[in-house]
Structure 1
């Protein structure tokens, strides 16, 4: 089976999280959307359509014209029910979810033509409706749906998971250990408290839970992530691969390689990759008048009502805050921006900006890439020419 992800015209609504990656690479729960589909379908080939400026940054192998291809909307999250419906599709049949094409089956020759042209699939497809699966339509849904996705991913991975052996972790308090899943090489230091009564706790391969940390499920601590000493990690939170988390976090998704290593509160937020939140960075996730939080849509610049009473920060890749930073309710920040303010910054922060008490300046591209390169080098990752070209495109777009 071949699997190809596509982004429709509404995929831009997930920005700024998807400024630097196609939507199928966003993490919700334990797994990225790609990884969820790979576990469900076990495809022989996985590829994706991407904006031209991302070319070469992410793998996109050619489709085999001799075999049918399943096309999946990149912002569509699977479940067992929709999997059954997809496996029953015949060639030139598809599924609609809330009036949006989410899955199609096409022959290889036609798929190659559409893939190479970079056009959207869907013409001459016979669609039926499905109520199953979950379609992301806004960046805040990454954290809003995260708790249920942690639990769904554990169900998906359960055949490969083991519940914790309490004897291996003396001095650690486990509540409902039958809902605590620990992968090989994980370290849980004495004095930690793992509360899984309200939902499962997943601790990935070679993750570290330092002494005195408190976790209340549903929570996912992904591979190589670190929970710092005394941290308080509340439910519906994912600490992505190689991330560090300290202080207090509630309903937060950190995608990967990002750090919030010190005290401070972060709630109801989605943080991209390669971000760093300085010591005592705090965000507001609730307005003083308890009204719904409004958010700025990235592409249009228009504010809209999220319908949420709790909504904190959406931050794109490579952005950073200084010590003692305060982030307002419903803050949206692009990629490669630095917030160095003693007061609340604007609620909408463009990409490649440097915010200080003296105002807003453009973050020079070469300086931004120098800093990004140093951070990525610490994890053994180099900035490729293709990655740099992608960032250059975003820089120029932000400064037109």
Structure 2
């Protein structure tokens, strides 16, 4: 049994923490819970995160856990990103570097301890038992999803090729450069005149993915199930399931079910689920001064110490035609912005052509979300409608977000 715990740091990973636990963020090729399921060879039974995320339900995601976590279960820090190798069988504690990433509980863990965001996994270490150090990285800041993307993809893809029984692509009408290889699962469609550049890393296309003619895909690159590359240059990206991607996209993560179906540059960015970027949406990922990028966090504007950093788009964020976004921009959950370049941070459920923005009312937001999901043959259940009303109330009342 596996339970994933969002500590105080994870609960401040905005704009994503507004509407999803970190266990359901894509880091490298996989969602965090999928990654830990692979490493521990066990199913996810629950998530412990912020109170407003009780009721989060998405595809096969485990429910928010209420009650004690039983003895014998694995309790995992969701900010820990292990590479995809089996954990030592005898280990009771797993570390990445010198930090505790996972603990196999010797006794039940009371729920009240885990509901305290300042609880440390180190406090749950058993008094005895083997410690196994496993390879991986840590997410100390939300932008580390971007910073560690290439490293994670290079570690993930070779393992997933075997897991998915993917085979090397062998086509005379497709050009493959480099030696790392292109691998395809069942049901993949690759049209003629596609170029795959595997000089820096492999490319993996999952079941039902498609690549249109005149696309250039540069590895390391992961394309999830039923996602479509519609032309342009896609370089060093992790693209989740059922996405549509076109244009120039670099070092960017798509959690899933998002659209960037037209021209426009998106680089060193993260798109939550159900994001739609209209034609010509362009992110800046490098300052004209070539200096380090600063980004808004709940603790204020922070020097990320990253030279390349684009935009973090929360779930259900939408942009208008030709929108330009500044370096290190944060676009909150449920935002719908167009026309003028937004400020460096746009609060959740903002709506309009220029700041100060109006509030995107909850009824209009839910109606829009339902219509977009229906285009993917996914019906929003009544429980989700009620949950989104809670998220809207919490997010619009959150004083940490600047509203101007």
- Normalised TM-score (structure 1): 0.88
Residue 67 to residue 264, structure 1, CA distance change in 2 (3 Å): same
What's the counterpart of residue 344 of structure 2?
A: 347
Provide closer, same or farther for how the CA distance between residues 191 and 78 of structure 1 changes in structure 2, counting only shifts above 3 A.
Answer: same
1:159 and 2:162 equivalent? Answer: yes
How many angstroms does 1:24 deviate by? Answer: 1.3
* Alignment root-mean-square deviation, CA: 2.6
Task: Provide the residue aligned with 2:402 in structure 1.
Answer: none
Which residue of structure 1 aligns with residue 234 of structure 2?
A: 233
Determine which of 131, 137, 156 is the counterpart of 2:140: 137
* Structure-1 residue corresponding to 2:74: 70
Alignment of 1:74-85 (within 5 A): 74-79=78-83, 83-84=87-88
Matched, 1:372 2:373: no
Distance in 1, Cα, partners of 2:141 & 2:226: 28
Note the C-alpha offset of 1:344: 1.6
Q: 1:173 & 1:64 partners in 2: Cα distance?
A: 55
1:178–1:330 CA distance, 2 compared to 1 (3 A):
closer
Counterpart CA distance in 2 for 1:261 and 1:80 is 31
Match of 2:259 in 1: 259
Deviations 1:54-82 (A, max 9, x none): 22323337899876111110121113679
Q: State the shift of 1:105 in Å.
A: 1.5
Query: What displacement does 1:21 show?
Result: 1.4
Unaligned segments of structure 1, at least 5 residues: none
Structure 1 residues 65 and 276: CA distance shift in structure 2, 3 A: closer
1:170-319, aligned counterparts within 5 Å? 170-176=172-178, 179-229=181-231, 231-234=232-235, 236-297=236-297, 299-300=298-299, 302-319=300-317
Matches of 2:321 and 2:216, distance apart in 1: 24
2: CA distance, partners of 1:319 / 1:80: 31
Distance 1:80 1:311, change over 3 A: closer
Q: How big is the shift at 1:96?
A: 5.6
The one of 341, 360, 363 aligned to 1:363:
360
Partner Cα distance (2:308, 2:147) in 1: 9
Cα deviation for residue 363 of structure 1 reads: 0.6
Post-superposition offset of 1:262? 0.3
User: How far 1:146 sits from its partner (Å)?
Assistant: 1.1
Q: Is structure 2 residue 107 aligned with structure 1 residue 105?
A: no
Q: Which whole-Å CA distance do the structure 1 matches of 2:321 and 2:256 have between them?
A: 21
Provide closer, same or farther for how the CA distance between residues 243 and 115 of structure 1 changes in structure 2, counting only shifts above 3 A. Answer: farther
Q: Secondary structure at the match of 1:232?
A: strand
1:35 partner SS: helix
**Residue 336 of structure 1 pairs with residue 334 of structure 2:** yes
Structure 2, unaligned stretches of length 5 or more? 398-404
Change (3 A) 1:163 1:129: closer
Once the two structures are TM-superposed, the CA of residue 122 in structure 1 deviates from its matched residue by 4.8
Cα–Cα, structure 1 residues 397 and 114, in superposed 2: closer, same or farther, change >3 Å?
closer
Q: Distance in 2 between matches of 1:192 and 1:355?
A: 39
Equivalent-residue separation in structure 1 for 2:19 and 2:392 (angstroms): 12
CA contact (8 A) 1:14 1:137 kept: no
1:10-29 matches, within 5 Å, as 10-29=9-28
Could you tell me how far apart the structure 1 residues matched to 2:243 and 2:159 are?
Answer: 23
